[in-house]
Every structure is written in C-alpha cells, then in structure tokens.
Structure 1
C-alpha cells in the first residue's frame, strides 16, 4: 500500500518505528528507576491541597497489591475487574493486575446493575477492585455472577488530609461511601492488603504476547463486547502517541498531563495513564468533570497535555469566568469520540495558546489510529492522517468492499 499521507507528517515524526519488546508494567518499572522521586500522580483536594505519590512509591504500592492478589488466588490469565473513577487506586490496581499476569477489565461506574452483571459474566471475572460507593450494588450481584473476591477502597484514602477530614464529616455517609465490610467473607480492604504484603516484585513471567486487557465497547449494535488487547498492542499505541508529540520537544520526567478523561475508557487509559507512565510525566487525576475544578487544576498544576472530548472543550470555552484562569501551559490536546466543531477548536486555542487536534480511535486498535498533525495542515472536519505504521483505506459506503480512488467519497 502506498502511504500517500506520509508527505503530510510533521518533520520530526517517524514514518515507521521500532517498538520495544516490553510489557506495560515494565513501563512503570522503568520510570520508577529513571525518575524515582518524580511525582507520578497528583490527586487534588478541594482547598488547593493535593495528595502526591512518586513513581518509586507508586511501583512499591503496585507490588504490594500484586502480592496480595496472588495470595487471594489470582493467577496468570485471570480477569480482574476495576470499578472506580480516576483516582490513585485505579492506577495502582491496573498495574498490579498486570504484574501477576492478569487481564484488566475496566468497567464504567455509571453502568446499570444489569450491564455490570452482563460484563462480569461475559468476561468471567472472579476478582473485583471497587470504590466503596459501588459496594452495595456489586454485593447484590455477587451470587448472580462468578465473583469471589471483592477488594474495597474508599475514595478518601488518597485525599490530602484537610480534604479527607471534610469529606469524612460532610460527604462520606451522606453520599454512600461509608460501608462496613468487617467480617464479610471474601471481602477485603484495599489498604489492609497494602499493609499486609511486602513490596518485593512478584515473580510472574509475563510476555508481550499475553493479554493485557478486555476493553468493552459501547454496545452500539447491542450488548457491549470485550475487545482483546495484548501488551504489545498497547505498547505500540503508546509509542505512536509519543512520536506524534515529537515536534513539541517533550521532556521525559518533566511534563504534566491533565487526567480528567476517564481511565476506564481506553482513550484515557492510553493517552493519559500509559502515556504518563511511559514518559515519566505527572498525571493530575480528577474523578469527574467539574468545569471550575478543571480550570483551577490547569491553572495550579500547569499541564502541557490535555486529552479530552469536544464537550469538555466546549465547557471550558463557555465558562463565564474562564479568563480568570491561566491556561497558557496547555501545548497539545487530542480530541476524540465525537466531531470537533471548528469554532470550538479556534476558541480553545485562542484561550490556551495550545493546539487542539481532532483524531480518531477505537477500542479494538487500541486506541488512537489517526490524528491531525501538530504543525502541519489541519483540515476542518477531518480526523487527520494515520499514525506511524497504521494503514488505512477509504471504502465505498454501500458494500464496504470497494476501495475508493483519490478525490472519491467513501
């Protein structure tokens, strides 16, 4: 296939790449070695305070949880479900599952009990790591599914001290976060497990051809289905995403990434979490979208990268006090999941001085396969050009079997 799009690549972006033969958890181990004292995660509080964890500390907690999972009988190839929003526990749990050779199944916390039941049964999960807010729902599903082990964590466990105190007094019980799991069989406290087990790396052999995750699709043609991704699949996309940012002169171990795109979604999982871990960048995690809080976080923590969706950029553009916040740290934003209107792009770039790039991806890839270039030609309404080593064809809309010629619409 002639890759006619290569002529539109930014000068520093490679046409083809050599991909490292490593697993996803090795990304974390490498950054923990290269940047041990670099902040890996910032989890903001409500008063300008924040919880912070370094790459070395993150890797240690991942090892502790991995050893705990092994003690609970989780073995290579087992599916482990994660049910929580963006928080340090998600990142710790994700890499812990990978270190024991498990398969991550990240579930949308907004799913109905029926949708959760389907997914638990479909993937064959026996262990779930979940936020206490969702404990009652999952506990009711336990006997209906193959669930055996429940590991429960409270969102406040990684909040900074003052915010944690306020949360305990004002929100924990009222919003349903406070649960008592003492004495309940096969139900474990996340923190208790971390305290009980050591941080020696688990001795489990994991290869690049092993399955890393089942990523459930949106179910546009019926019930959602799990797309299978190997370690090498995700590693490749992390490297491709990294290469696309080359024109910016990305400084590994020094960058900050805005992490409000849900990590349970493959887009946020790759472009925020794995990208940050691979490059030794700090991710600022917010558990949900609140425009004012996002603006405060950008102004305070100065992220250069901000993956998102058009509705996020619209919310920022139209916020009545947007000009009160310094957003000029933003250099690059990737926009996916929906078409990006030109006026939204132009307004956001005017406010931040950064580039907002429309692209396209899918769970089966995963995730990004095309994007507009950073400094080259950007076409309005276009999803851009294929990433390095990605091949794309435009086919006829009627049968999907005929390849279209130049200037033809498909």
Structure 2
C-alpha cells in the first residue's frame, strides 16, 4: 500500500526515524540521566527522585542482580507492582544489567501468575507485599529462585513511608497475610547492590528487553518478544510525532495507566524519559477524587489514558476546576475513544483528546492522530514514521482505499513472535511479514485509519455486520449514560441480536429512553434488542471494558 498518509504528517514529523541513535534502552537511559541529571524524573505521592538519583538507585539494583544474585545475562526479572518509584528503579536496573523484564499484572490470580512466571522462566520477582499472598500460593511449583518484596511506602522517605504503610496494612487492610521464606526487602536489595559496581554488558537491538504478556482475557496469555530494537524504534517513532509540540526538560506527564502496561511503558516512561520529562505516577487511578486532588498539585503538560479513565475524570465535579493552561497533549489509546467523551474533554480542557492505536505486539504504537488535530475525527490516526500498514481480506488480498479489511502492520517496532509459541507466531503473520492485528479497519483517501471493530467482536444480525463500537458510541452520546458495552447474543429470529450493558449517569434513564435514542441514530438491525443496567462494567487493569466477560455472564444466566 502506498504511503499516502505521509502528506498529512504535521510539519517536522519525518517519514523515517533513526533506529540507530541508541544501541539499547540502556544507552537511552544513560544519555538521559546524564543530560537531565538535576531534573525530577519521577514523582509518586509527593516524593520525587531526580534523574541522577534514578541513575544511582537503578545501578544499585543492577548490582544486586549481578553481584548478589549472580544472574546470567538474559535472565528473566519479573515485576509485579502498580505505579510506584520502585518500578522504574527495578526496571531500569534490570535492563542496564542485561536482563529481560517480565511485566506482571498485580491483579492476576494465582493460576494466572503461575502460568506467566513458568512460561517466561522467571528467575527473580520484585513484588508488592499486597500481592505476596498470591505468589505464596504457587511459589513451590515455580522455578523462581529469588523473591524481592516491597511495600507501598518503602521509597517515600521518613516519616511518610511509615504512615503510608500503616494505612495500607492496618487501616485499609490491603495486605493479606503472607509468608515467602528467604525473600529480601527492596531496600535491602538496594543496600547490598550498592556494594557491587554495575558491570557493563553487551546488549544490542536483537536482545530481548521485555517479555510482554498479552491475550490473558481471551485465552492463555502469550509472551510477546519485544527486543531492545523494537522498543527503541517505537520510542523514536513516538518522539518524532510529539517533538514539534513539546520542549525538552520542561514537560510534566501524568502517568495513571500502569507502567507494566505497554502503552504507559513506552509512551509515558521511555519516550518522555528521552526528553527529560517529569513523570507523575498515580498509584491508584481508580480513586478518582484522590486522582483529581493529585492533578491539582501540578501544571501538567501531557496526560495519557483510556476512554473510561477520561470519562471518569470528566464526571468528577472538581476536575473541571483544574488549571489546564499548560496542557499540550491529551492522548487516548487502549480502547476506542468515544465521541461524547472526546467532545466533553475538549469543552472542559480546551484541548482535543487525540486518539492513538497500538498493540502489545507492536511496542505499541502503530497509528496516531496529528497532535494539531482541531477536533475529534473518529479515526485512530495516521501510520507513524517507518511503519507500513495493509488492509487484507480473509484471503490475504489487500483491500483498496475505503474498503474494510484486517489491519496488518510491518515495521521495526513489530515483535518477532511469541515466546515458545511457534504456531501462534506463524498464524500472526502474513507470508510477506505483516502482523495481523485482528482489527477490522478502513483507510480514507488521506491515509487516516478508522477501526471498525475486532474480528471476534463483530455481531452478525440477519446477515448484516454490526460493529459494537458504533453502537456504543451512539449509546454513550445519550446524556444519561456513564458507560456502555455492546455484545452479540443468540437470537432465534436473526442469528444474533445486539445487547448493551449500561451504567447510568441519570438514575431516571429508562430502557425506552435509550431505545428511542438509538432508533434516531442507528439502522433498525443495529438497535439494541436487550438493555441491562448495571452499577459497573468489568474492566481490565487499565480500564478496558471486558466484552468477553459480559458474553460469558450472559450465557451463564441462560441468555436472559
């Protein structure tokens, strides 16, 4: 497919990026900590660490892994914690020492945790004590050799560390009883690591930086192999996109999505590390009132999130009172941004909510809308620098402009495959090397890509395709709706029918109100056949609504 999208690039964004500026993520890190040594790198719960301190602390953790534990190059270091200062210290320490980071969702069950740690061959795990009980349940069945335990307050300094840990443990009862004999505290690891100098390890683009697990909500989680080259390429691509609009050493980015998620990891942590930004870590973004209070403390210039997070902020009355005068980038990804949310975001902040698209397997960015976009356009944007896209039908034939097809991607940010899963890897790629995203999309004459929906989520009503995103967008535009999810359910009359699950903003909202609203905006076969009101919708750890769980619950309830 011709790169027709290049003509729409904002001024200053190149067609190709320099993939060789950094030989590894360690090279990027060392350049940034030297250049921005005095600037604050990360802030969490009011405690900040400078780039110089991040350099020192991560070197100590690297020394612990190399000198105390004696791990061989390439060993797997699992990290299981929310956004805390310990995360960047441990992650950069592991990468600098030549190890592979295995990010773990802290909300995993014992079964899910056992699968991932066993599959990845993790040698050591750094885990927040809140989740230590989960590890305890499977510890004896794992090849895991070392356990490092930390607490929420451990890096916050005296006396805040004691106060925070007391509240978490005693007041909120957030730490179930646990026992992991032989474990070491994070502070102890740093202390012992300080006795060992960081040994330089030869790391190149082909070496694995992350085993990033994906697909856990749709089957057994698979580890996408993300090399140093993949991640370096994507942060270069992301940086090229934002460079014309931001300033080195001056940015403050709000990081509410967890750093163990690929979106936040690359977009917030690594890309903004390159430009010397301050990352404000939000440990519990589900506490919206607390989140808004934290936002009030900073003149933040950038924020990323998913649609549900932006929606929740907008529905907090204090959010509109914040100072948005410094805000230059609002980036939404991870799930479709709904028009109603985007329009309200611009109304409140004065800035468009820019939608981007990516996957774990693509490190993650594939497409981003121009940051100078004047208004929401329903598109996921333009393919970024050094990226090719192709829309393919089921026979792998490329589709013309304006026709639907599966979005396929080729570029330096694309994984080489799944860890120890050659069959899954083979299925994931076309014969000419494009990664199959599983998303159905169209491209217009200017190169803007619009996602129609996931292949597996498409609803077939009397032979007509119905895409849940379209239905959800219409339902969400009703002023009485807070959140919505649409699924297909079996129907005797039409094969499948549309069912929507709705969280009300207006308690007086009725089924009849919504049906009437949908009939004004949707063709008859797209109008929801069933509506179920709920207090909340099931979501992933980053706030993505779980349609599959809703389908499973519908079946378990006998289709009612």
Helix, strand or coil: the match of 2:312? helix
d(CA) in 2 for partners of 1:274 and 1:179? 35
- 2:150 corresponds in structure 1 to 153
Structure 2 residue 27 is matched with structure 1 residue 26 = yes
Paired with 1:357 and 1:328, the residues of 2 have a C-alpha distance of 17
Q: Does 1:273 align with 2:269?
A: yes
Q: How does the TM-score come out when normalised to structure 1?
A: 0.92
* Matched-pair contact (CA < 8 Å) for 1:299–1:327: no
Aligned with 2:362: secondary structure?
Answer: coil
Partner residue of 1:251 out of 247, 251, 255: 247
Partner of 1:406: 401
SS at match of 2:353: strand
> Which string of whole-angstrom CA distances, capped at 9 and with x for unpartnered residues, describes residues 111-143 of structure 1?
111100110111111210111111222123111
**Which string of whole-angstrom CA distances, capped at 9 and with x for unpartnered residues, describes residues 314-356 of structure 1?**
0111112222222332211221121111121121122222231
TM, length-normalised to structure 2: 0.68
Which 5+ residue runs of structure 2 have no aligned equivalent? 406-560
| Residue 9 of structure 1: aligned partner | 9
Kindly tell me: are residues 159 and 281 of structure 1, through their superposed partners in 2, closer, same or farther at Cα, counting changes over 3 Å?
A: same
Q: Determine the structure 2 residue equivalent to 1:203.
A: 200
C-alpha distance 297-17 of structure 1, shift in aligned 2 (>3 A): same
Change (3 A) 1:376 1:75: same
Rate the CA distance shift 1:337–1:379 in 2: closer, same or farther, 3 A.
same
| Bigger Cα Rg | 2
Counterpart Cα distance in 2 of 1:285 and 1:140: 30
Deviations 1:358-388 (A, max 9, x none): 1110111110110111124766321111000
Q: 1:63–1:202: 8 Å Cα contact kept in structure 2?
A: no
Match of 1:164 in 2: 161
Deviations 1:172-201 (A, max 9, x none): 23524487879x32x111101211232733
Matched, 1:292 2:289: yes
Structure 1 residue runs without a partner (length 5+): 45-49
Q: Alignment length, in residue pairs?
A: 400
Does 1:81 find its partner at 2:82? no
Q: Distance in 2 between matches of 1:242 and 1:271?
A: 9
Partner of 1:355, secondary structure, is: coil
Q: Does 1:93 align with 2:90?
A: yes
**Higher strand fraction: Structure 1 or Structure 2?**
2
Larger RCO (CA within 8 A; separation ≥ 6) = 1
Write out aligned runs for 1:235-384 (5 A): 235-248=232-245, 250-289=246-285, 290-376=287-373, 380-384=377-381
Q: Give the drift of 1:106.
A: 0.4
CA distance in 1, matches of 2:178, 2:103: 24
Q: Is contact 1:328–1:351 with CA below 8 Å preserved after alignment?
A: no
**Cα contact 1:372–1:378 (8 A) shared by 2:** no
- 1:226 is the counterpart of 2:195: no
| RMSD over aligned Cα atoms | 1.9
Aligned position for 2:57: 61
Q: What is the rounded CA distance, in whole Å, between the counterparts of 2:178 and 2:216 in structure 1?
A: 34
Deviation at 1:400? 5.0
